[in-house]
């Protein structure tokens, strides 16, 4: 048997976890979304034919002139999964969004195996800009936009929310900052600082972080810092609800704890929930307690 290095083992676990997360998302939409939900599926947001430049919009059954919007950014180590990932184990949370009149848009973005960073945040910003610019067509309230992200998606959601009030041209496909504002970020176990992320010092070119950056953190310190959400924190940032598993073996819990500490130091309101015994993903994050905290956050900052 071929010997597996420590990081190789970690990578094997990571990819297995993320594929399992995606497999759980095979739960049908009719099982997740309430009857009467309006679905606009596979909308191209970048004026091209790339499969990774598509998004879905789900509108609640209760008809309104406009809906506040939650943008769903999937996980997958920046290298696997799609816009349906993470839904399968968050069914009650999704139903809560719909039942309380929140629209949901789930977006795809290019994998690191085909395009290195900042392609991923460029795609996410471009998708959100599309939703913002076409809000009236889909009955979306363009003044009420929240982000929710899981793992790699949590990283991207955090980075978008924190860099939105800066003018980092590299984060936008055409170099121009769009007009949308982010009301709040719901960050589920997303990496926040690549210099301290578990496995950041791996020399393996196929490690998730090295694939994302196109090299190691040591070789690309400037890019690693720019890609780290903690680098963009200032007092004008939106509020954060950070949810982290206590037993996460993929994203070390200190990533979420440090993000919360940096936000607090900058005067940005945030709450940190450590889910006892929880691993990197799964139904433990779809708990009644978490849902209550999420809904409280939404009702406070999206009304």
Residue 86 has pLDDT above 80, yes or no: yes
CATH number of the domain located at residue range(s) 6-301 in this protein: 3.40.50.1820
- CB-CB neighbours of 21 under 10 Å: 24
Average pLDDT over residues 146-153: 98
Residue 16 has pLDDT above 70, yes or no: no
Summarize pLDDT for 57-79 with one digit per residue, the tens. Answer: 999 999 999 999 999 999 999 99
Summarize pLDDT for 129-139 with one digit per residue, the tens. Answer: 999 999 999 99
pLDDT band at 205 (very low <50, low <70, confident <90, very high): very high
Q: Where are the domains of the chain?
A: 6-301
Summarize pLDDT for 179-192 with one digit per residue, the tens. Answer: 999 999 999 999 99
- CB-CB neighbours of 91 under 10 Å: 16
Residue 101 has pLDDT above 80, yes or no: yes
Taking the CA atoms of the chain, what radius of gyration do you get in angstroms? 18
pLDDT band at 167 (very low <50, low <70, confident <90, very high): confident
Strand extents, DSSP E, 45-127: 54-59, 67-73, 103-107
What tokens does 193 get?
């600082």
Average pLDDT over residues 98-123: 98
Q: Rounded CA gap, 176 and 269, in Å?
A: 28
Q: Is 186 left (phi over 0), alpha (psi -120 to 50) or beta?
A: beta
Residue 262 has pLDDT above 80, yes or no: yes
């Amino acid at each position: 048997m071929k010997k597996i290095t420590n990081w190789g083992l970690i990578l094997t676990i990571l990819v297995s976890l993320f594929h399992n997360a995606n497999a759980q998302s095979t739960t049908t939409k009719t099982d997740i979304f309430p009857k009467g939900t309006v679905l606009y599926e596979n909308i191209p947001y970048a004026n091209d034919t790339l499969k990774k430049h598509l998004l879905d919009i789900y509108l609640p059954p209760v008809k309104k002139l406009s809906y506040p919007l939650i943008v769903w950014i999937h996980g997958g180590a920046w290298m696997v999964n799609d816009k349906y990932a993470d839904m399968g184990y968050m069914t009650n949370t999704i139903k809560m969004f719909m039942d309380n009149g929140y629209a949901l848009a789930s977006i795809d973005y290019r994998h690191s195996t085909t395009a290195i960073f900042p392609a991923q945040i460029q795609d996410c910003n471009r998708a959100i800009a599309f939703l913002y610019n076409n809000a009236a067509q889909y009955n979306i309230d363009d003044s009420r936009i929240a982000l929710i992200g899981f793992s790699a998606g949590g990283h991207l959601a955090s980075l978008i929310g924190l860099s939105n009030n800066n003018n980092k041209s590299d984060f936008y496909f055409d170099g121009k900052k769009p007009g949308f504002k982010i009301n709040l970020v719901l960050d589920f176990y997303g990496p926040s600082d690549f210099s301290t992320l578990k496995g950041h010092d791996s020399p393996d070119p196929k490690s998730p972080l090295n694939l994302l950056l196109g090299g190691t953190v040591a070789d690309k310190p400037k890019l690693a810092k720019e890609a780290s959400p903690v680098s963009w924190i200032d007092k004008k940032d939106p509020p954060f609800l950070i949810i982290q598993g206590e037993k996460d073996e993929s994203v070390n819990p200190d990533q979420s704890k440090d993000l919360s500490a940096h936000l607090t130091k900058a005067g940005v309101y945030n709450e940190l929930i450590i889910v006892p015994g929880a691993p990197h993903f799964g139904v433990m994050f779809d708990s009644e307690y978490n849902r209550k905290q999420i809904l409280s956050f939404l009702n406070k900052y999206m009304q």
